[in-house]
Amino acid sequence: MQKLRTIIVPEPSEVLTIPYYHNLARGVSGLRHGDGKHVSRREIPDWMADQLFDEKVRFIRKDGTPFEISDTAIDGAFNDDGTFRWLSYLVAFAETPPRQAPQARLAPRLILLSLAFWIAYPDIAKGFAEQTCLNMPQCRHWSWAYFERCADCPYHRRSD
């Protein structure tokens, strides 16, 4: 008998940050089929369902209470919009992070997407909460604020 895998559900306050949103967008934009083709926005909900309804996984909140995902959770999180056009907007932030944090109404879909990654690609999901210098993503240094460059950033221009 296979052991049940436990995944802790991220809080809305975690997923509603610029770095988390940006890193999640990068993860979604990198989803590929076995043949290397991109997973389309209409295929992503099916991929999510395959992950989220795995019988070998259980979800709990940080306080230890169970987190149940209903049959209609994905459709509900996306407001029953069968086009899933929002996923295209999300992927647009893979290259350049947004200038403001996502709205609170997006938390359910961000949480479900995140959980799907925790099941399928836990190594990628671990990086969602990483804080990087968002002005120069290639620098990979942590920054306090979006519009501020980190002090260690080799791309940081000091006005002397």
Q: In this predicted model, what pLDDT tens digit does every residue of 94-139 receive, in sequence order?
A: 888 888 999 999 999 999 999 999 999 999 999 888 765 555 555 5
pLDDT for res 99: 85
DSSP 3-25: PPEEEEPPPHHHHTSHHHHHHHH
Give dist(CA 39, CA 127) in Å, integer: 21
Q: What is the mean pLDDT of residues 28-53?
A: 93
pLDDT band at 8 (very low <50, low <70, confident <90, very high): very high
Give dist(CA 113, CA 60) in Å, integer: 16
Sign of CA dihedral 136, 142, 145, 148: negative
pLDDT for res 159: 45
Q: Is the per-residue pLDDT at 158 higher than 50?
A: no
